Amino acid sequence: MTEDSQRNFRSVYYEKVGFRGVEEKKSLEILLKDDRLDIEKLCTFSQRFPLPSMYRALVWKVLLGILPLHHESHAQVMMYRKGQYSDVLHALKVVRFVNDATPQVEVFLRMYQLESGKLPRSPSFPLKPEDEVFLAIAKAMEEMVEDSVDCYWIIRCFVNQLNSKYRDSLPQLAYFFWSNEPPSPQDAVASRLTDNI
């Protein structure tokens, strides 16, 4: 009883001094300690509370199906994901679609195009509207996820989810992923193109 009242006092105190999410972080840690992660509970938590940055990539990888539900398989699966990432990146370098100077978001786009069978014949071909949407998502995700392998897999699975479930909303997505700065003329042209899909 006293522990409950102390915890409530602590929660209220932390919120008043600006430290929100202390209890939510503990709740998320408890969810992530389960031997078999519960997708329903993780979805509910993600919808109700902001994800702490230290757990964001892990939760996204589980929710998007990049990682399995059992902890003991995570390292093995990520080893395979890294291997696949390296193989696709190497293939793109061999065919000279990307090099060390290529921006990371464009590398992600070319990898996605190669894996989905939509790689153009030449890197100089103009981008399609769906490629512009992919780049907008990749730019936003790159700011949140540090590891390039994790970032690529999250973008790839996120875009696949969008394409399978929310295809009608894709033209408006480029607007939502821009930061607070106004779009460049290139982005403005891309948004007009996506409006015409």
pLDDT, tens only, 127-152: 998 898 899 999 999 999 999 999 99
Residue 19 and residue 12: Cα distance in Å, rounded? 10
Instruction: Please indicate, yes or no, if residue 183 is contained in any of the structural domains.
Output: no
194 found inside a domain: no
What CATH number has the domain bearing residue 87?
1.10.8.680
Residue 5 CB neighbours (<10 A): 9
Cα gap 158→162, rounded to integer Å: 6
Nearest residue to 193 (alpha-carbon basis) of 136, 129, 142: 129
Average pLDDT, the chain: 81
Distance CA 120, CA 181 (A): 31
pTM confidence score? 0.74
Closest by Cα among 89, 122, 126, 90 to 108: 89
Give CA–CA dist 28/62, Å, rounded. Answer: 13
Is residue 168 in some structural domain?
A: yes
Q: What is the percent of the chain with per-residue pLDDT over 70, rounded to a whole number?
A: 74
pLDDT digits (tens, 9 = 90+) for 68-126: 999 899 999 999 999 999 999 999 999 999 999 999 999 999 999 999 999 999 988 99
For 99, the domain range is: 59-176
pLDDT at 6 over 50: no
What's the total number of domains in the chain?
1
Asked, for residue 151, whether it belongs to a domain, the answer is yes
